[in-house]
Amino acid sequence: MEAFLISTGIVALAEMGDKTQLLALVLAARFRKPWPIVAGIFVATIANHAMAGALGAWLTTVISPQTLRWILGVSFIAMAGWMLIPDKLDDDAADGRLPRFGVFGTTAMLFFLAEMGDKTQIATVMLAARYDAWFGVVAGTTLGMMLANAPVVWLGAKVTKKVPLRVVHLVSALIFALLGAAALFGWG
């Protein structure tokens, strides 16, 4: 349960102001069809985070616990620094063309690709390596993505204007730094 709750919280916070959240806003404004957009986000997130979680779980089988502890500690601290750098959305997602694969298919493809190498995907790898609970991590990171992105799809710019993104990024960075310190010093 700890893996699920921590994964949910970290990803929900990390996703605030992330490029995929901005992508959700662009898709909502462009297509104005929230259900297929939210469904596309959900499917893309499950696929992407399941692969990331599997990679994290596999790492625990090929790297010694001591080495993994150091890698995770440094990775979490690096993630804390990365959280302090705001994302910007590439203009490719809003080029004005009609979607070739429909709203659902376009959303699923764009989100899957946008998550490649993203903070939340890397966090999923690290969390799955940290906890021996692949399903709990993937379920938690997926829920975190949905908690951050679904309201943006339905409420649009109103949500993003009321959320102090700098504070959210600082809280996320602090959580990652604490997880990094815990891994490095063997706490918990």
pLDDT means over runs of 10, the chain (188 residues): 94 84 81 91 97 92 86 82 66 54 91 86 91 94 96 75 67 80 80
Three-state SS letters, 135-166:
HHHHHHHHHHHHHHHHHHHHHCHHHHHHCCHH
- Domain chopping of the chain, boundaries: 2-185
Cβ–Cβ < 8 Å for 148, 21: yes
Classify 28 as helix, strand or coil.
helix
Q: How far apart, in whole angstroms, are the C-alpha atoms of residue 178 and residue 68?
A: 17
pLDDT score, position 90: 45
pLDDT score, position 92: 46
Query: Residues with Cβ < 8 Å from 141, sequence gap 6 or more?
Result: 7, 8, 10, 11, 45, 49, 52, 53, 120, 123, 124, 127
Cβ–Cβ < 8 Å for 27, 158: no
DSSP string, 83-131: HTS-----GGGGSSPPPTTHHHHHHHHHHHHHHTT-HHHHHHHHHHHHS
pLDDT score, position 151: 92
pLDDT score, position 19: 77
pLDDT score, position 55: 93
Cβ–Cβ < 8 Å for 46, 137: no
**What is the residue type of 108?**
A
Identify the helix (H) or strand (E) that includes residue 174.
Answer: helix 165-185
Q: Give the sign of the dihedral formed by CA 12, CA 140, CA 120, CA 122.
A: positive
pLDDT score, position 11: 93
Q: How far apart, in whole angstroms, are the C-alpha atoms of residue 118 and residue 137?
A: 16
